[in-house]
């Protein structure tokens, strides 16, 4: 044994060849944490010191190769000063460079995913062999940063500038075959032949049959493009990538700039360029938000996993109502492998649900994401019915009939009589209290809310609503089923609007106030889209449906009259009364035409402006900053209230709910992280400036307390 640590061992194999094996003790995956990095330093030194070694192969003892850096270490790490960060980065890079500079050939055997720092380790070797199913890539930009262990230096020198930019700026994971095509790896082999292939390569390099020094050399030199070629490659890429990423996500373009700046330098100087740019990005609030988001997501997954222990198996599901939501739920369940009965009281309802599912599946087949046989299988897994015949075999029923408490109570009681005693009942209601619906049931412990978002196949969130009487098994089974459907479930407690709609309506409250001051809704949409929302509030109202918004608003006003009561007529009222229901009937705030591809296209409509004149209470000049504050303060404060009221258990879940449920701008991390980024005290002071707008703008006592004590929601 040449080196033995907790993450790495180096042992002699045969005829001067050693194996450097990554196998992090006590973890299911390998990652580049502090410990691993330190041990890599020691391993490389040990190999360097041993004059008898003739070649090195690098392997992994896990299913993965190395998943990347340990992201949990980022938050603390990135708090260091710029100088410390750059120095730390260069020190880490010296380990990779020392490995690269070993006086013997090195071959990396990539058995499973190798991402970020994991793939940068691979790049430091002379040769790379990869197993057929493994994937490699540099996903750092997804965290608002770029590769910092030499990825921006070595990759363009190995696979060329254009390919490297595509890999780094997209952050995508690349299949073995694609990696071979661009020359990121030297051979693709079957998993059980991987080590053999690595050994074969290293032996051929040792014997001189392969010239490993020549293979290594380009990585140490400047990029082989002349000035004109460089300009063409970098300038075109910067324009294109900037357009794709948008102004709120600077990392992809910064990565290109770094590659460009370092293009005419050799390795060591180029690594310095990389380190300086890396540190600049690591300090941005975008990186902080995106890293926070990643960590929140991990926390969510861990929580969802805990429910697995109590969850009952769902082998067969059922959905009541084959409308927009029921059809979507049936499609999602079937396509993810849980067969589902779909019951409706109308034949044409069932046909519509089936058509919708067939359309969605057809699209996946068209795009090559699904094999035609799989499509037939999924369609067969949706079993339409007009009777309760087979409901005795069902493990969970999702109720998605019309949004009417009386109808829902009748339907739920009816289905309770035909299912097993342990079958879980879940309602997809968006506004009705789960505790109220539970009153109609004999076994309220088996009942929860399961709130999907429209369109079901696209929206990643499912709110699982725990009623007063819901059992742990009911909650856990619903969480597990949502996960099996490929969704991100968040468990919340019952209240009007649950988490997501409760927070969304105050945001619309802010919108109403702006319209009351005569502010143009097109301007508001533009400002909020620039702020980072996928669509502005007027457009969103049209997409969701003015009638849905109108109904939801009334429910919320009743639930929280102190701050959400409606004073006088609002825009939603006048639109609703004029039968402008939004996209669904072709006119709302905007009018809708059909574009060449058959998709609705919004155009301005003078009639909408005419209607809105009647609701202006006072003309007020507002700045773009005001528009953001009018809209965001109520949303943020309501999120704070949800956390304080225990509707949602953690700040991480609240923020993720908003990101997955309503497309809150990810680079801002969520409502609570947004408050953190402004500073709690500063946020409270800002809200106080708008206090005359009403209770939606009044911070809670606890938030004032947090401000006074210098507390934050995260860290």
Ligand X SMILES: NC(=O)c1ccc[n+]([C@@H]2O[C@H](COP(=O)([O-])OP(=O)(O)OC[C@H]3O[C@@H](n4cnc5c(N)ncnc54)[C@H](O)[C@@H]3O)[C@@H](O)[C@H]2O)c1
**Please, are residues 132 and 176 in contact by the beta-carbon 8 Å criterion?**
yes
401 is in an annotated binding site: yes
Least distance CB 327 / ligand X (angstroms)? 7
575 is in an annotated binding site: no
* Min dist. Cβ of residue 428 to ligand X (A): 4
Decide: 413 and 441 in contact? Cβ < 8 Å: yes
Whether residue 403 is annotated as binding a ligand: the answer is: yes
Rounded to 10 degrees, the C-alpha dihedral 703/705/707/711 comes to -90
Peptide linkage before 455 cis (omega within 30 of 0): yes
Strands 174-175 and 127-131: unpaired
Alpha carbon distance 672, 551 (integer Å): 27
Binding residue per annotation — 458? no
501 is in an annotated binding site: yes
Among 166, 73, 87, 159, smallest CA distance to 117 is for 73
CA-CA distance, 503 to 440, in Å (whole number)?
28
β-strand partners of 411: none
Q: Label the pairing between strands 174-175 and 135-137.
A: antiparallel
* Termini Cα distance of the chain: 42
Find out whether 131 is annotated in a ligand binding site. Answer: no
Residue 483 and residue 301 in contact, taking contact as beta carbons nearer than 8 Å: no
454 among annotated binding-site residues: yes
What secondary structure does DSSP assign to 63-82, as a single string? SSSB--B-GGGHHHHTTS-H
For the CB of residue 544, give the shortest distance to ligand X in the complex, in Å.
6
Give Rg (Cα) of the chain.
Answer: 29
Rounded least distance, CB 435 to ligand X, Å: 16
Which residues face 137 on adjacent strands?
A: 115
> Which residues are catalytically annotated?
451
- Cα–Cα distance for residue pair 529/518, rounded to 1 Å: 20
Task: Indicate the residue whose CB is closest to ligand X.
Answer: 323
**Cβ 405 to ligand X shortest distance, Å:** 10
Q: Is 248 assigned to a binding site?
A: no
Residue 395 among known ligand-binding residues: no
- List of residues contacting ligand X (CB under 6 A): 320-326, 343-346, 349, 400-403, 407, 411, 428-430, 452-454
CA atoms of 320 and 206, how far apart (whole Å):
68
Pairing of strands 17-22, 340-343: unpaired
Instruction: Please state, in angstroms and rounded to a whole number, the distance separating the CA atoms of residues 676 and 637.
Output: 12
Buried-exposed string 61-83: b where 16+ CB fall within 10 A, e elsewhere: ebebbbbbbbbeebeebbeeeee
Of 145 and 419, nearer to ligand X (C-beta) is: 419
3-state secondary structure of 422: coil
Q: How far is the CB of 145 from ligand X (least distance, A)?
A: 36
Which residue's CB is nearer to ligand X, number 178 or number 403? 403
640 is known to lie in a ligand binding site: no
CA distance 76 to 93: 20
**Residue (278 or 576) nearer to ligand X, CB:** 576
Place of tokens 């008898």: 52
For ligand X, give the closer residue by CB, 18 or 341. Answer: 341
Shortest CB 505 distance to ligand X, Å? 14
Structure tokens at 570: 């609002």
| CB of 62 or CB of 553, closer to ligand X | 553
In the bound complex, what is the minimum distance in angstroms from residue 349's beta carbon to ligand X?
3
Strand partners, 189: 131
Return binding residues for substrate: 297, 501, 660
Q: Which residues are annotated as a binding site for NAD(+)?
A: 325, 344, 401-403, 408, 430, 454
Per the annotation, where are the binding residues? Answer: 297, 325, 344, 401-403, 408, 430, 454, 501, 660
């Amino acid at each position: 044994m040449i080196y033995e640590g907790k993450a790495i061992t180096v042992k002699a194999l045969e005829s001067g060849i050693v194996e450097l094996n990554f196998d992090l003790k006590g973890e299911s995956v390998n990652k580049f944490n502090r410990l691993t990095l330190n041990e890599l330093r020691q391993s490389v030194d040990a190999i360097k010191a041993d004059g008898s070694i003739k070649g090195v192969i690098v392997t992994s003892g896990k299913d993965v190769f190395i998943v990347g850096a340990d992201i949990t270490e980022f938050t603390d790490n990135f708090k260091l000063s710029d100088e410390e960060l750059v120095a730390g980065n260069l020190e880490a890079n010296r380990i990779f460079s020392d490995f690269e500079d070993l006086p013997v050939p090195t071959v990396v055997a990539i058995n499973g995913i190798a991402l970020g720092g994991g793939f940068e380790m691979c790049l430091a070797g002379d040769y790379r062999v990869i197993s057929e199913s493994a994937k490699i890539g540099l996903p750092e930009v997804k965290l608002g940063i770029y590769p910092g262990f030499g990825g921006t230096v070595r990759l363009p020198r190995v696979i060329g500038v254009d390919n490297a930019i595509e890999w780094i700026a997209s952050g995508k994971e690349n299949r073995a075959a694609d990696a071979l095509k661009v020359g990121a790896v030297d051979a693709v082999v079957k998993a059980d032949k991987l080590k053999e292939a690595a050994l074969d390569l290293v032996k051929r390099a040792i014997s001189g049959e392969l010239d490993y020094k020549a293979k290594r050399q380009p990585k140490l030199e400047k990029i082989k493009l002349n000035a004109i070629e460089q300009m063409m490659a970098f300038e075109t890429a910067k324009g294109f990538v900037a357009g794709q990423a948008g102004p709120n996500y600077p990392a992809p373009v910064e990565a290109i700039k770094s590659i460009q700046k370092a293009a005419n330098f050799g390795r060591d100087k180029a690594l310095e360029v990389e380190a300086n740019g890396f540190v600049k990005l690591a300090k941005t609030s975008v990186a902080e938000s995106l890293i926070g988001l990643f960590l929140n997501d991990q926390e969510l997954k861990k929580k969802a996993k805990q429910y697995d222990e109590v969850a009952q198996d769902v082998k067969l599901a059922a959905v009541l109502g084959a409308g927009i939501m029921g059809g979507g739920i049936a499609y999602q369940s079937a396509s993810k492998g849980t067969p589902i009965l779909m019951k409706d009281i109308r034949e044409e309802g069932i046909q519509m649900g089936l058509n919708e599912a067939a359309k969605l599946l057809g699209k996946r087949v068209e795009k090559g994401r699904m094999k035609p046989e799989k499509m037939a299988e999924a369609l067969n897994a949706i079993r339409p019915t007009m009777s309760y015949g087979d409901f005795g075999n069902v493990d969970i029923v999702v109720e998605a009939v019309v949004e009417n408490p009386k109808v829902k109570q009748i339907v739920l009681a009816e289905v309770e009589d035909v299912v097993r005693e342990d079958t879980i009942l879940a309602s997809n209601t968006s506004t009705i209290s789960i505790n109220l619906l539970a009153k109609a049931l004999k076994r309220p412990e088996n009942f929860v809310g399961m709130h999907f978002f429209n369109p079901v196949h696209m929206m990643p969130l499912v709110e699982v609503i725990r009623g007063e009487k819901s059992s742990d098994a009911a909650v856990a089974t619903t969480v597990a089923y949502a996960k099996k459907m490929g969704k991100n479930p968040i468990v919340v407690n019952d209240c009007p609007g649950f988490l997501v709609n409760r927070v969304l309506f105050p945001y619309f409250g802010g919108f109403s106030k702006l319209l009351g001051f005569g502010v143009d809704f097109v301007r508001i949409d533009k400002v909020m889209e620039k702020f980072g929302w996928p669509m502005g509030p007027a457009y969103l109202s049209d997409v969701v449906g003015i009638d849905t918004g109108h109904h939801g608003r009334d429910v919320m006003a009743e639930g929280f009259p102190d701050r959400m009561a409606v004073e006088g007529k609002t825009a939603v009222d006048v639109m609703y009364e004029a039968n402008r229901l939004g996209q669904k009937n072709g006119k709302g705030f905007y009018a809708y035409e059909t574009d060449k591809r058959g998709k609705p296209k919004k155009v301005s409509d003078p009639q909408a402006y005419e209607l809105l004149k009647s609701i202006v209470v006072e003309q007020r000049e507002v700045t773009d900053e005001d528009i953001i504050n009018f809209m965001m303060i109520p949303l943020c404060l309501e999120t704070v209230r949800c956390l304080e009221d225990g509707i949602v258990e953690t700040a991480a879940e609240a923020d993720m709910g908003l990101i997955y449920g309503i497309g809150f701008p990810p680079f801002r991390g969520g409502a609570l992280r947004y408050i953190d980024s402004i500073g709690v005290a500063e946020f409270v002071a800002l809200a106080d400036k708008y206090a005359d707008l009403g209770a939606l703008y009044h911070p809670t006592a606890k938030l004032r307390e947090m401000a006074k004590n210098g507390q934050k929601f995260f860290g």
